[in-house]
């Protein structure tokens, strides 16, 4: 019986043959790619790949090797496709992306909408991004804000997309897919809740506490120390603060920001009542124009995939091959298709980068309904 060292020598010899054959195979794939560029053929031929996998599986002896050879050839064909996508991009076959690069958002002349009411965290995020003197107005809901952008009543909307403790704002992901609006910026602000009430109110006076359900949850440790208080959910924290002022009832208090308390003239009875002191929310800036700033560094997309084994795995390989750092992935159910999902992906890059163009070419061919949500 051969020693371990002798077996490793034999493996090295086989590997040398595999490497040489791999290079020969990729040369041929390059020629195939050139043919497809010249003749306008698509890179991804699903039926051809299915037939190829069945053919190579029929040439091996065991079930274990059948599975292994299919996985190996899936990778080989994936590498072939990526080479061919690169050739297509180099030949200009990607076409122009329907996004225009700009130097600035021209915020000084813009009209900006935010959801909620005066004192909302969205207003604070808007003022942080655009400045306190920006021309703004508020609407009731996220959908109303997206409609205001779509209809041209506003140039930009500032909307929450993700909280560091509560997670993704699911409704916003669905709206980004539904509307032809695009992300051009983002900002992150700390979420610091207070317990605020009418001036002169004491903690012993309070019987009811109002706030958004998520905010009540985020201050649960503090509120649990006062089991005698009834917790009542309203649309958002600013509306809770407004309610206290309008009803002038000293038995009521709001969990809201110090910003909202200041807007409505409330007294902060307890500051920083969050369970998590590092709580923050990421807000996106949205417009109805397909534009991106020249120094944009993040891209958001959404896409759908076939409901079959390995489909997400193969799609994500486009980020790996092009050295693109994926920073986030979320999934949302596709309406009317039980147990099928739309994926929302953030990754680092600029639409002008060659690696980004190459990845988008592959993603567009191998997924369904790819949509670029913005570069910011």
Residue 376 and residue 363: Cα distance in Å, rounded? Answer: 20
List, in sequence order, every residue forming a beta bridge with 114; answer none if it has no partner.
138
Angstrom CA distances, 325 to 84, 317, 363, stand at: 22, 11, 15
Q: Answer for the pair 119, 238: CB distance below 8 angstroms, yes or no.
A: yes
Residues contacting 367, CB < 8 A, separation 6+: 303, 304, 305, 315
- Tokens standing for 11? 């493996």
- Tokens standing for 301? 């997309």
Helix (H, G, I), strand (E, B) or coil at 208: strand
Residues contacting 293, CB < 8 A, separation 6+: 101, 102, 103, 104, 105, 184, 185, 375, 376
Q: Answer for the pair 214, 121: CB distance below 8 angstroms, yes or no.
A: no
Residues contacting 320, CB < 8 A, separation 6+: none
Q: Answer for the pair 241, 266: CB distance below 8 angstroms, yes or no.
A: yes
Determine which one of 114, 130, 142, 283 is catalytic. 283
**Which residue from 372, 346, 375 is spatially nearest to 360, judged by alpha carbons?**
372
Find where tokens 């759908």 sit: 304
The verdict on whether 130 is a catalytic residue reads: no
Angstrom CA distances, 83 to 10, 70, 74, 86, 340, stand at: 31, 20, 14, 5, 30
The verdict on whether 179 is a catalytic residue reads: no
Q: Answer for the pair 71, 78: CB distance below 8 angstroms, yes or no.
A: no
Q: What is the DSSP string of 33-70?
A: HHHHHHHT--S--HHHHHHHHHHHHTTSSSHHHHHHHH
Determine which one of 194, 201, 237, 281 is catalytic. 281
Find where tokens 């060659």 sit: 354
Helix (H, G, I), strand (E, B) or coil at 128: helix
- Catalytic residue ranges: 281, 283
């Amino acid at each position: 019986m051969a020693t371990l060292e002798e077996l490793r020598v034999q493996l090295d010899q086989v590997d040398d043959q595999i490497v040489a054959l791999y290079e020969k195979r990729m040369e041929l794939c390059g020629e195939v790619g050139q043919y497809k560029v010249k003749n306008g053929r698509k890179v991804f031929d699903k039926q051809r790949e299915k037939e190829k996998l069945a053919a190579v599986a029929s040439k091996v002896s065991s079930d274990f090797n059948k599975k292994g050879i299919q996985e190996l050839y899936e990778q080989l064909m994936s590498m072939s496709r990526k080479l061919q996508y690169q050739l297509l991009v180099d030949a200009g076959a990607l076409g122009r992306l329907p996004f225009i690069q700009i130097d600035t958002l021209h915020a000084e002349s813009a009209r900006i909408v935010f959801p909620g009411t005066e004192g909302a965290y969205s207003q604070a995020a808007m003022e942080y991004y655009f400045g306190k003197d920006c021309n703004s107005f508020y609407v009731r809901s996220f959908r109303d804000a997206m409609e205001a952008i779509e209809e041209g009543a506003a140039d930009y909307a500032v909307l929450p997309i993700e909280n560091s403790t509560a997670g993704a704002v699911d409704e916003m992901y669905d709206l980004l897919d539904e509307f032809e609006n695009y992300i051009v910026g983002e900002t992150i602000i700390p979420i610091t809740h207070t317990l605020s009430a009418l001036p002169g109110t004491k903690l012993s006076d309070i019987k009811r506490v109002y706030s958004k359900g998520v905010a009540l949850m985020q201050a649960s440790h503090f509120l649990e120390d006062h089991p005698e208080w009834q917790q009542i959910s309203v649309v958002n924290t600013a509306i809770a603060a407004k309610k206290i002022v309008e009803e002038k009832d000293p038995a009521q208090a709001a969990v809201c920001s110090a910003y909202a308390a200041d807007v409505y003239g409330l007294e902060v009875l307890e500051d920083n009542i969050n369970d998590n002191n590092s709580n923050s929310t990421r807000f996106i800036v949205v417009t109805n124009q397909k534009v991106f700033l020249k120094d944009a560094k993040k891209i958001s997309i959404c896409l759908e995939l076939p409901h079959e084994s390995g489909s997400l795995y193969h799609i994500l390989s486009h980020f790996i091959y092009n050295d693109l750092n994926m920073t986030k992935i979320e999934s949302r159910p596709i309406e009317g298709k039980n147990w099928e999902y739309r994926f929302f992906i953030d990754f680092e890059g600029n639409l002008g980068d060659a690696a980004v163009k190459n990845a988008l070419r592959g993603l567009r061919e191998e997924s369904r309904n790819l949509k670029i949500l913005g570069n910011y």
